[in-house]
Structures are given as structure tokens and as C-alpha cells.
Structure 1
Amino acid sequence: MADTETAPAADARPAKSVVYCGQCSLPPEYCEYGGTTQRCADWLLKHHPDLHAKLYSEEAQAAALTQNLSSLSVDAQKRAEKDAQKKAAKASAAESREAEKRASSKVTIKRVERNKRKYVTEVSGLEHFGLDLKKIAKEFGKKFATGSSVTKTPSGGEEITVQGDVSDDIFDWLGEHHEEIPEENIELVEDKKKKGAAAAV
């Protein structure tokens, strides 16, 4: 039996690179279906200005609207315009609720004394700002060369526990790397271990 070699196809094309939105994780052409259109547009402007101009310029918006409306009847066009306005208002309301929630959320950096002169630092509230706790815990471990892990709190939430007294360093690090967290929303707390009842007598 003769060996047969298969030649590569003559029309083989290189793989196409696809951009995915950093906010909703959809391709930018589909961000309007994700519900966070404005944040998606802001992200795209910052990271891919050429693609933002292509999708969000006034000419592109007008062309898309004209193309969509030309295939509809007059009544359907009116309904489509009302639906678009409702959808935009709903997305705007959701974004403003999210902004209010973030504005009222607090990140607490607590220094807790374990034994004499041994401390851990507990960081809670980062999830309100959309941060991945496991990723941040890993970054803390590398940055401060210490143990860092995500632990459950008694109330059912999660917090990051870092070995050592690094509360001031974490405060500074958050200010440098996460501008989305306002400085006034970061609270430093010191939790001293209570002395035994015998000491009070």
C-alpha cells in the first residue's frame, strides 16, 4: 500500500484574532446585548481606540440605525425606537445603581493580633468593586513575600488573610493599582487581642 501525503489546502487562512470586551467578555460588536454598554464603550476607548471609533462614532451609529429601521414598517420603527430608549434607560439605571453601591461600599483592612507581636492582616469588601479575591490574594503573597489566602468569614462572606502586619502597605498598594476604589472607602482598623479576665482582677 503506497503512502499518501496530504498537501495543505491552497486557501488556508491564518487564524483571526478576536478582541473580547474587558467588561462584559463579549466581542465588542455584541456589547449592546450585555447590559453595560457605556462601561464597555469606555473600556474599548481606553484599550482599542480604533475599534471604538469604528463601532461608536456618530456615523457608525447612524448607519446602523438607518439600516435596521429601513427594513421595518412605520409602526415597527416606532416600537423599535421605544424599545431602544427603554433598554438604554434600564442600562443607565443599572449602571447608576452599581455606582451608588460602589460609592457606599467599604474595603476594610484589619490588623489582627494573634499572639504577642504576631499579626495577620484581614482585607474584606474587595468583591464589591468587582475584584477577584483569589487573584488579589496571590498578588499580595508575591508582593509581600508572605502567606495569603481567601478565607470564609463568620457572616458567610469571604476575605483575604495575609500573614504579618502589612495593613499600611496594602492600603498604599490598593491606591496605586486600583483607582476604582476611592481612598475614602478604604478603612484601616486595628483589632487587639483581648486580655484574659485574670489580668482585669
Structure 2
Amino acid sequence: MAGKPQPVRVLYCAVCSLPAEYCEFGPDFEKCKPWLVQNAPELYPDLVRDATAKEADRVADQLNATGISFGSGDGATASSAPKEEVKRLPGGKVKKKEKLEVIIEKVTRNKRKCITTVKGLELFGVKLSDASKKLGKKFATGASVVKGPTEKDQIDVQGDIFYDIVEFITDTWPDVPESAIFFIEDGRKVPAV
């Protein structure tokens, strides 16, 4: 008779929190690779082999880019070079940086009623709940923070305040320049200036 079965020890990745053997199927395999090379080399022997070759090439490229020669004794290291982080979406596409702009759009419903939407104020450090209260008080109308079609928060203001809102935004929040405010007219983005 065999003894009591022992529990299986599972090594979890510190980056993606999946078991180490499943990291290659996870969302951040590129970020997991350095951790796997260091902590689970037996699971990915190809990574270890590739990492040593790539590491040597990367260090040489960094040294050449910063102007440090291999024989210099100035004590500078390759880690002192600034590393630019690139955001990647699933599938490997590079994520674009968000533009700092406020977009104002008028949506007509039921032929007479209008809703003015304001998107992008949060990029300038404006708290959207406070902004909706101020807009509601200024224009004596209802204003609320809602999720837009792209799952980002936006402010919906009842009524047609399309052209009056630009002056109010620039006066209330001086961090928002007038050149960063755009209208959506007939499906085109038009500067508010």
C-alpha cells in the first residue's frame, strides 16, 4: 500500500500569476520571460538559450547607443540608460498615446431635444463629477457623468450649450487651453478656436 499522496507543488509566475507552465498562453508572456528565465529555466530551455544571446546583443546595443565604449573605465553601466516603455495591446499592437484634447459633441434626439457631450476633461486633471455639477449650475440644466460608447467616462449636459461651453471651460479650468478643445460637426473634428 502506498502512503498518503503528497500535494503537487505548483510554481506561480510573479508577473501574470498563472502557473509557470501556462505563462506562454497568458496576456503578458513578453513581460513574464525574464522572470521565467530566472526562476523556471527547466520549463523553457529555449528562452534561456535565446535570452543569453539576446542579452549580449541588447547590452552591446545600449552601450553603443549611449556612446559608452566597451573598454571605458568611467564606471557607467548599461542600466543607467533610460528605457522607453512601449504599451502593447493584446495581439502585439502598439497602444497609441492619448491626445490631450477635449471633444464637444451635440446629439439631437426626438427632433428637438439636444444633449451636449463633453469628453476628455479628465485628461487635464479635472474631476468629472465636480465638472458636471458646475456645468449643471452654470447652464441651469441637468448634467451627469456617464459611460460613453468606448467605455470612457464623459459628461452629458441636457440642452444645446454647444458654443457657450468653450468659454466656460477655459475660464473655470485654466489648465485646459482653448487650442485643445474641438467640436464634432457633421462627423468631422473642428477646432473650437
Q: TM-score range by the shorter chain?
A: 0.3 to 0.5
TM-score norm. by structure 2 comes to: 0.45
Query: Which has the higher relative contact order, 1 or 2, with Cα contacts under 8 A spaced 6 or more apart?
Result: 1
Q: TM-score, normalised by structure 1?
A: 0.43
